[in-house]
Amino acid sequence: MEPDCTPRYLASDNTSGICPEAMEYLLEANRSDDLAYGNDSWTERAADRFRELFDYDCDVFFVFNGTAANSLTLAAMGRSYHSVICHELAHIETDECGGPEFFSNGAKLLTSPGEHGKLTPEGIEALVTKRSDIHYPKPRVISLTQATEVGTLYSLDELRAIRAMADKHDLRLHMDGARFANACAALNVSPAELTWQVGIDALCFSGTKNGMAMGEAILFFNRELSEDFAYRCKQAGQLASKMRFIAAPWLGLLESGAWRTNAEHANAMARYLADGLIGLPGVEAMFPTQANSVFVSLPPAAIAELKARGWTFYTFIGAGGARFVCSWNTTTELLDTLINDMRDALSQA
Amino acid sequence: MEPDCTPRYLASDNTSGICPEAMEYLLEANRSDDLAYGNDSWTERAADRFRELFDYDCDVFFVFNGTAANSLTLAAMGRSYHSVICHELAHIETDECGGPEFFSNGAKLLTSPGEHGKLTPEGIEALVTKRSDIHYPKPRVISLTQATEVGTLYSLDELRAIRAMADKHDLRLHMDGARFANACAALNVSPAELTWQVGIDALCFSGTKNGMAMGEAILFFNRELSEDFAYRCKQAGQLASKMRFIAAPWLGLLESGAWRTNAEHANAMARYLADGLIGLPGVEAMFPTQANSVFVSLPPAAIAELKARGWTFYTFIGAGGARFVCSWNTTTELLDTLINDMRDALSQA
Amino acid sequence: MEPDCTPRYLASDNTSGICPEAMEYLLEANRSDDLAYGNDSWTERAADRFRELFDYDCDVFFVFNGTAANSLTLAAMGRSYHSVICHELAHIETDECGGPEFFSNGAKLLTSPGEHGKLTPEGIEALVTKRSDIHYPKPRVISLTQATEVGTLYSLDELRAIRAMADKHDLRLHMDGARFANACAALNVSPAELTWQVGIDALCFSGTKNGMAMGEAILFFNRELSEDFAYRCKQAGQLASKMRFIAAPWLGLLESGAWRTNAEHANAMARYLADGLIGLPGVEAMFPTQANSVFVSLPPAAIAELKARGWTFYTFIGAGGARFVCSWNTTTELLDTLINDMRDALSQA
Amino acid sequence: MEPDCTPRYLASDNTSGICPEAMEYLLEANRSDDLAYGNDSWTERAADRFRELFDYDCDVFFVFNGTAANSLTLAAMGRSYHSVICHELAHIETDECGGPEFFSNGAKLLTSPGEHGKLTPEGIEALVTKRSDIHYPKPRVISLTQATEVGTLYSLDELRAIRAMADKHDLRLHMDGARFANACAALNVSPAELTWQVGIDALCFSGTKNGMAMGEAILFFNRELSEDFAYRCKQAGQLASKMRFIAAPWLGLLESGAWRTNAEHANAMARYLADGLIGLPGVEAMFPTQANSVFVSLPPAAIAELKARGWTFYTFIGAGGARFVCSWNTTTELLDTLINDMRDALSQA
């Protein structure tokens, strides 16, 4: 199917493997036996390192993947008859196969539009004040994604404004940090600045997309919400018996700084790709490239040609849209090949 | 805490790390990028290899851990108002923090006693025929553990008798194979003989306890029960985006035969330990050592002394019981040290 | 607040009480003790009478209210990772506080627009074919409301077309019959013609809105879907111990024919009201009045004036819309008073 | 089947119908239309009357039946990964088909034995202190039944001792009051004395068994536990649209005092029956008759003979036990007939 043996994967940052810094700690953690269920010598170290990085005495938990991280956290932030306000493009709404509803036993997601994939205070308030009767699930949580599903970023000011709206209506604030590292790097802010300092109650920080094999960290800055949360993880099949194989790679990312340099690299690659693509005849930016994703509109024939040449990327039905995601190990060589193929494809289209 | 730096972990087979055969494939899978969500080049190979090993065209799924494997499978085998018959010592009853009830949205476990941790056809029938009214959740599934939670084994004849009882009352048959490999090795039977040939509908086969970092395989021999099961896994937070890092280590275990040699070694070590312990004054076998666990009763003072010397193992409150579990990397050196320490501890007790 | 003591309730058909035919049977059922949990002398008679009325050997269950009827039925028609296709104005989407998601443990509702509150085959297909990946909950059920939430009706041809689309994509077809009797009466068709003859798999038939104190009937024409459904009702708190007090009033409605005459009356009253209102200056029909509801747009000042005069009715925020619902006991006197008040209100507005 | 036309129902107090006081208010509530969903003129009155009766500013909710009342209340008192401590004979454990597990989405019931169907502080503590690891669902609630499932009563001192144990381990205290009125009457105490004054956090008070057609009241004395509880009821299908038909009969029971006189009558009838039965040759009391149930052991042949004569009552498989329950309308004539039939049956046995 592919003309050469280099994979042409730009569909998601989860097609990349384990980065060297994570792997080194994984191998190290495998040098000797250790206690199970997080009582090992790695888990507490990793949790402490998160507390240092965020400069906050938060509660830290490790789970296997993003569906679980977001769903468990949202379940802890409300009850089944509450609702969660999110953007209509939020991953929890569009790509979790009902995961948040399953883990919460029925909490409804209320979706709001918003330019560039971002919630606005007004959009949130419209959902909160729309109704106040018992037949409408009471809004209790706002969930926002940073960077968003369309590769854009909330500024600190935008986050503060959302927090103010949350306070006005007694809502909790959840951040889906599937690409949190990319956001920190792109905004050039610290993890603290981007979370508790702007009033985030809980963050789901993805390790998988940041260079690990699997594993996400959940950080509760509002510790009232994490009471007995370890039991919740256990019951829901998210307590790893050999937890050190999640904790140690995290420690590798944190101690080496790779959590951020990986993200910086991915962001830079996306910038490189955007610069190479946008401006080609027939290619238009769908969203500003602010983190590690590039969204462009293309002629359908060009999409078909790229797929024929073995490129994997997400397309948007009926819209002629394409998403390319860069990762910690994306190379300019790969992107140059794509840009060249794109030129060919466009000239044929 | 410990006099030397060798960990003295015999609490569970999940204190061991990743075996070489699994690690080799993990590293190999990390050599290049690959597709996500099981569309990679490893997952189908691993699933096919399971089908070969079991000599059956079964449906194969990979999830993160045992709580999820068992709970999701049981949820698929019944509905929320059905009940699951299991032994009163079954892990799903005693150690999952309500996981099966959570994933099934309320299915009740009906427990039965039974010698050596094993269900009997009579015990099963007693629960089925106890009541037939609507206020009693209708029995729909039998769940048995092979090897059992107390390290014993169901013989093929015992399994056939349970299957006959299942047929009599239209029940499905689930096998919790947390130590399935140990059972195959100890009984000297093939995976096929121990599962579909005796009428098992679905098996949860643990990779974690068999030498992996994490990851379990679920095999449905009754494929009516696995319709849309991939959606169930996704919704419940058990679809790994980088699934190759579960599939590849499994393939390593299967292609190398380590899945069985690891188990044979662990069983032999348990045998060695049992031989060394039982017969010491004050030590009595609580259950026959048939797989990789040794259950003995000890004087409380001996238990305390062993703990003081840094040994980790499970004890049974009020009973003076101790469980030691051997693994793929347990050494006779470690066991000799334990046996010596035990002698000391007993002489002081 | 009100100038006279006649309640001015037109907010819903659930502000009316128990009709004489239902009350007569309730009192009769109270003449002697009887067996519990539906083993009484009324429940089977009522169920049989439903089977006669629908000319079909369907499974019949009685539950307390509409939230439960719809939610339990939908839960039985799919699994938690499936999705239910419904209109964006469907009661199950807008007014159940997450009930369907709760009872199904997470099934997502996928909503479709459609003129006059009605699903179309094209709208359904758009949702089914939108995506086929594992992250999108697999469509399994279509739920439609007859009469719709905006008081309109699906014709038999429209229902047949939806059934054809359901067959094309292997979907089950649920009818929310909160106002099923009104639909039968308005379309002048038999219950059989309006359900199984056009391929409805399950119907929730409201007794509450039809003249009872409380109680809904669930009819499964596709009996594969109702296997063990009685257990589901029990577990979910919907098995009445003194079930005869739901079954007997139902029997009263069915044996007397009041189920239909009540609906005919309500429909006629809505027609009367619509005729009186529409055409007044400033009043416009929002939807055709086909059953027992009248939806009109009004000047906001007129709405305020009517509320000040003690009229209760639903309004639509920001839209100047008002809903008036007629019932089995609505009188022309009441409606004339409303029409007069409306004239006053409009002249003042 | 029966020699005369008087029903011989003593299986449960739910074979009785609606008492005159409840019916009178039901009919009165039906005299005019009223607002829906508890905004009517009856619901607040009934709730206020409960607050007067209990001399406490508690939160009051009305639901349809006992399964829902207990399950919803327990769900509100903990989370899915918590456990509920109850007696091994508790109705929530033996007769709800997994209802508590369903509504709580997986909370496990931990059962304790105890003489006369009663929990003891020691039994509770044994379950709490048995384990403290994450694999064991954390005990959060004690549920006790007053009167118990075997017709016995907790004294005020026993309740105080249980409350002390609850405080010691930070547990909440739930009272299943399926026969709460009978308990008040039998102990000759006020509702206040029997609930919040001994530290009950929430009570489920059955109207169905006390003379209504259906309907239970839930009273939260600990109002932190009832935050947003109305939403929970709505979502779970327990919000009656015509709520006045539950509230008004409750008001009838409360204003007339029938809630207590009904119970006193039922208790007296049970006393009468016990006096008549116990002492007959072959009849032995299984439990003391303290409320409105009589539990006796009988020769199996006598049981068979009574059943042949049309008596309905619960029997206990394999135990030769029989339960007879008296109600608000049980007559001495009926009981005399039973006693005579029993004499005959015993003489033939």
pLDDT digits (tens, 9 = 90+) for B264-303: 999 999 999 999 999 899 999 999 999 999 999 999 999 9
Which residue among D81, D105, D228 sits closest to A228, beta carbon to beta carbon?
D81
Residues of chain A above pLDDT 90, percent: 96
Of C257, C283, C300, the last residue of a domain is: C257
CA distance to partner chain C, nearest, from residue B141 (Å): 15
Q: What is the pLDDT of residues B73-97, one digit of tens each?
A: 999 999 999 999 999 999 999 999 9
pLDDT value for A212: 98
Q: What is the pLDDT of residues A61-88, one digit of tens each?
A: 999 999 999 999 999 999 999 999 999 9
Q: What is the pLDDT of residues D303-317, one digit of tens each?
A: 999 999 999 999 986
Report if residue B327 sits inside a domain.
yes
B134 at interface of C, judged by CB pairs closer than 8 A: yes
pLDDT value for C320: 82
pLDDT value for B2: 42
Interface test with D, best of A62, A133, A231, A243 (most D CBs within 10 A): A231
Q: What is the pLDDT of residues D166-211, one digit of tens each?
A: 999 999 999 999 999 999 999 999 999 999 999 999 999 999 999 9
- Whether B294 and B277 map to the same domain: the answer is yes
- Whether B308 and B240 map to the same domain: the answer is no
Which residue among C7, C99, C214 sits closest to D240, beta carbon to beta carbon?
C214
Low-confidence ranges of chain C (pLDDT < 50): 1-3
pLDDT value for B31: 96
- Whether D165 and D310 map to the same domain: the answer is no
Residue D143: pLDDT band by 50, 70, 90 thresholds?
very high
Report if residue D11 sits inside a domain.
no
Q: What is the pLDDT of residues B123-137, one digit of tens each?
A: 999 999 999 999 999
Report if residue C205 sits inside a domain.
yes
pLDDT value for B348: 85
Report if residue D7 sits inside a domain.
no
- Whether C263 and C218 map to the same domain: the answer is no
Report if residue B241 sits inside a domain.
yes
Q: Lowest mean pLDDT: which of A310-319, B1-10, B320-329, C169-178?
A: B1-10
Of A258, A277, A310, the last residue of a domain is: A258
Of C257, C274, C291, the last residue of a domain is: C257
Average pLDDT over residues D239-265: 98
Average pLDDT, chain D: 96
Residue D319: pLDDT band by 50, 70, 90 thresholds?
low
Instruction: Specify the DSSP class assigned to residue B9.
Output: B
- Whether B254 and B266 map to the same domain: the answer is no
- Whether C221 and C91 map to the same domain: the answer is yes
Which residue among B37, B81, B239 sits closest to C231, beta carbon to beta carbon?
B81
Res. D1: pLDDT tops 60: no
Contact A34/B23, CB-based, under 8 Å? Answer: no
- Whether B292 and B200 map to the same domain: the answer is no
CA distance to partner chain A, nearest, from residue C185 (Å): 29
Residue A316: pLDDT band by 50, 70, 90 thresholds?
confident
- Whether B83 and B102 map to the same domain: the answer is yes
| C-beta neighbour count of B41 within 10 angstroms | 14
CA distance to partner chain B, nearest, from residue D30 (Å): 33
First to last CA, chain B: 21
Contacts with B, A 62-81, CB within 8 Å: 63-68, 71-72
Average pLDDT over residues B11-20: 96
Strand order in the sheet with C284-285: C284-285, C293-297, C321-325, C314-316
Q: What is the pTM of this model?
A: 0.97
The token pair at A177 is 């940090």
pLDDT value for A317: 61
Which residue among A98, A108, A135 sits closest to C137, beta carbon to beta carbon?
A98
- Whether C225 and C286 map to the same domain: the answer is no
Three-state SS string over chain D comes to CCCCCCCCECCCHHHCCCCHHHHHHHHHHCCCCCCCCCCCCCHHHHHHHHHHHHCCCCEEEEECCHHHHHHHHHHHHCCCCEEEEEECCCHHHHCCCCHHHHHHCCCEEEEECCHHHCCCHHHHHHHHHCCCCCCCCEEEEEEEECCCCCCCCCCHHHHHHHHHHHHHCCCEEEEEECCHHHHHHHHCCCHHHHCHHHCCCEEEEECHHHCCCCCEEEEECCHHHHCCHHHHHHHCCCCCCCCHHHHHHHHHHHHHCHHHHHHHHHHHHHHHHHHHHECECCCEECCCCCCCEEEEECCHHHHHHHHHCCCECEEECCCCEEEEECCCCCCHHHHHHHHHHHHHHHHHC
pLDDT value for B1: 39
pLDDT value for A2: 43
Residue A318: pLDDT band by 50, 70, 90 thresholds?
low
Interface test with C, best of B171, B235, B239 (most C CBs within 10 A): B235
CA distance to partner chain C, nearest, from residue A55 (Å): 35
Which residue among D82, D105, D234 sits closest to A135, beta carbon to beta carbon?
D234
Residues of chain A above pLDDT 70, percent: 97
Q: Which residue of D has its CA nearest to A232?
A: D81
Residue B195 class from Cβ within 10 Å (0-12 exposed, 13-18 middle, 19+ buried)? buried
CATH code for the domain of D79 = 3.40.640.10
Residue D5: pLDDT band by 50, 70, 90 thresholds?
low
* Chain C residues with beta carbon closer than 8 angstroms to that of A81: 97-98, 102
Residue B153: pLDDT band by 50, 70, 90 thresholds?
very high
Res. D158: pLDDT tops 70: yes
Interface test with B, best of A176, A214, A311, A326 (most B CBs within 10 A): A214
- Whether B101 and B27 map to the same domain: the answer is yes
In whole angstroms, give the CA distance from residue B297 to residue B323. Answer: 9
Which residue among A16, A235, A242 sits closest to B98, beta carbon to beta carbon?
A235
C109 at interface of D, judged by CB pairs closer than 8 A: no
State the ipTM, two decimals: 0.96
In whole angstroms, give the CA distance from residue D22 to residue D249. Answer: 4
Contact B235/C37, CB-based, under 8 Å? Answer: no
Instruction: Specify the DSSP class assigned to residue B105.
Output: T
Residue type, C328: W
pLDDT value for D316: 80
Contact D106/B108, CB-based, under 8 Å? Answer: no
pLDDT value for D118: 98
Instruction: Specify the DSSP class assigned to residue B124.
Output: H
Res. D90: pLDDT tops 70: yes
Res. B326: pLDDT tops 50: yes
Report if residue A2 sits inside a domain.
no
- Whether C120 and C245 map to the same domain: the answer is yes
Residue B318: pLDDT band by 50, 70, 90 thresholds?
low
Residue C295 class from Cβ within 10 Å (0-12 exposed, 13-18 middle, 19+ buried)? buried
Report if residue B7 sits inside a domain.
no
Report if residue D5 sits inside a domain.
no
Residue A3: pLDDT band by 50, 70, 90 thresholds?
very low
Average pLDDT over residues B85-111: 98
Contact A232/D137, CB-based, under 8 Å? Answer: no
- Whether C277 and C193 map to the same domain: the answer is no
Q: Is the peptide bond before C147 cis (omega within 30 degrees of 0)?
A: yes
Number of domains making up chain D: 2
Helix (H, G, I), strand (E, B) or coil at C297: strand
Domain that holds residue D342: 259-348
CATH code for the domain of A342 = 3.90.1150.10
C30 at interface of B, judged by CB pairs closer than 8 A: no
pLDDT value for B6: 72
Helix (H, G, I), strand (E, B) or coil at B318: coil
- Give the CA distances from residue B131 to residues B106, B126, B318, C272, D97, in Å, rounded to whole numbers and listed in that order: 19, 9, 34, 57, 12
CA distance to partner chain B, nearest, from residue D103 (Å): 8
Contact C98/A130, CB-based, under 8 Å? Answer: no
| C-beta neighbour count of D257 within 10 angstroms | 12
pLDDT value for C316: 81
In whole angstroms, give the CA distance from residue B108 to residue B124. Answer: 15
Average pLDDT, chain A: 96
